[in-house]
Each structure stands twice: as C-alpha cells, then as structure tokens.
Amino acid sequence: MAPSRRFTADEGGYAQPGDLIEILRPAYQHWALYLGDGYIINVTPVGDVAPGTMSSTKSVLTRKARVRMQLLKDVVGEDKYRINNKYDSCYAPLPVEEIIRRAERYIDTEVPYDVLASNCEHFVTMLRYGEGVSNQAKKAIGAMGAAVVAAGAISLLGFAMGRSREKHN
C-alpha cells in the first residue's frame, strides 16, 4: 500500500524527485522515476509475484502493467542503477511538482503495456517530459528490421544460387 504522504521537490539526496532512474538488468534496462525519500514509481507486469522485478520474458508477453510505488533499493536488488535524464537536451522536463503530481495519480493503476510502443521507459519519460520516448525500443525495432533485411538477403541469395545450379545442370 502506498504511503499517504506526498513527495515534494525540495527533498535532499543524490537522486532528486523527478529524476529518471535506469536500472541495468542483465538483458535490458528497466526504467523508474524517482519520487523522493527512497521511493520510485515504475511499471511491472500485472500479477507479477515479485513486483520489483520485470523479467524480460514476461514483459514481452504482457499487454498490461501495474504502476507501483516501491523503494528504489527493493527494485534494484543486486543490479546496478544510475540517474539518467538523458532526454533533457531534447525535451524540457516539466516542473517537478507537476511530474510528481502526475506520477501519484498512476500509483496502483493498470496501464497498457507494449515492449516496443508503451514500455517502462515510455511511461517514465511521459511523466517527466509529457511525451513517452524510448531509445531502447527504437534500438529493438531497428535490430528487428535489420534481421528481416538480412533474412531476406539470405533467401534471395539462396534462390539465386539455386537458379544458377539449375542452369548449369
């Protein structure tokens, strides 16, 4: 259950309210938004028994996510993390009070989830900037496109080689 207190923009500590937190998982990055006082907001698969962890397999298969407020240390576990407001040069962050107010409205709700179009990074950047952005998704889409092109080239090459053998026989 979420504490009833509200977070404010003047809380101290290394991470500041409204900061994007990138959690470096073995196969992907999980994103959260720092609220203050050690708490973050993030999305997890609906029905996940361990809400601090979003397995990459389950996140690919789910279509909904639950927004949770959790302690950063519980979500990070043994993984490394960093503050990464990497989009600040492209998008102006909203005022911190507005970021926190927007985030608090989502706590304990379900939201649509799609690993390529509406993932954890999209969610927290939408809170910080008013627009959902995910370079992680763009890279995945680019990799899939490259794989499709490579598969097509291999098929075309195989077809051409087969035709060439037919002509020589």
SS3 per residue for the chain: CCCCCCCCCCCCCCCCCCCEEEEECCCCEEEEEEEECCEEEEEEECCCCCCCCCCHHHHHHCCEEEEEEEEHHHHHCCCEEEECCCCCCCCCCCCHHHHHHHHHHHCCCEEECECCCECHHHHHHHHHHCCCCCHHHHHHHHHHHHHHHHHHHHHHHHHHHHHHHHHHC
If one counts the domains in the chain, the total is: 2
Q: How confident is the model at residue 18 (pLDDT cuts 50, 70, 90)?
A: very high
Q: Above 70 in pLDDT, residue 1?
A: no
Residues 48 and 129 in one domain: yes
Q: How confident is the model at residue 169 (pLDDT cuts 50, 70, 90)?
A: low
- Summarize the confidence of residues 87-99 as an average pLDDT: 97
Residues 10 and 62 in one domain: yes
Q: Above 60 in pLDDT, residue 104?
A: yes
pLDDT computed for residue 56 by the predictor: 45
Residues 145 and 108 in one domain: no
CA torsion 154-135-116-107 (nearest 10°) is: 160
- Summarize the confidence of residues 125-145 as an average pLDDT: 73
Q: Above 50 in pLDDT, residue 127?
A: yes
Q: Above 70 in pLDDT, residue 75?
A: yes
Residues 166 and 98 in one domain: no
Contact 50, 60 (CB under 8 A): no
Expressed in angstroms, the distance from the first to the final Cα of the chain is: 75
- Summarize the confidence of residues 106-113 as an average pLDDT: 96
- Summarize the confidence of residues 8-34 as an average pLDDT: 83
Residues 90 and 169 in one domain: no
**Residue carrying the six token digits 């789910």:** 62
Both structure tokens of 42: 């993030």
Residues 107 and 169 in one domain: no
Residues 32 and 80 in one domain: yes
Q: Above 50 in pLDDT, residue 49?
A: no
Degrees, nearest 5: CA angle 47-48-49:
105
pLDDT computed for residue 19 by the predictor: 97
pLDDT computed for residue 69 by the predictor: 97
Residues 89 and 169 in one domain: no
Residues 95 and 165 in one domain: no
Rounded to an integer, what distance in angstroms lies between the CA atom of residue 47 and that of residue 11?
Answer: 32
pLDDT computed for residue 120 by the predictor: 94
Structural domain that includes position 7: 1-133
Rounded to an integer, what distance in angstroms lies between the CA atom of residue 151 and that of residue 64?
Answer: 31
CATH number at residue 74: 3.90.1720.10
Residues 110 and 150 in one domain: no
Kindly state the percentage of the chain with pLDDT values over 90. Answer: 55
Q: Above 90 in pLDDT, residue 52?
A: no
Active site residues: 30, 120
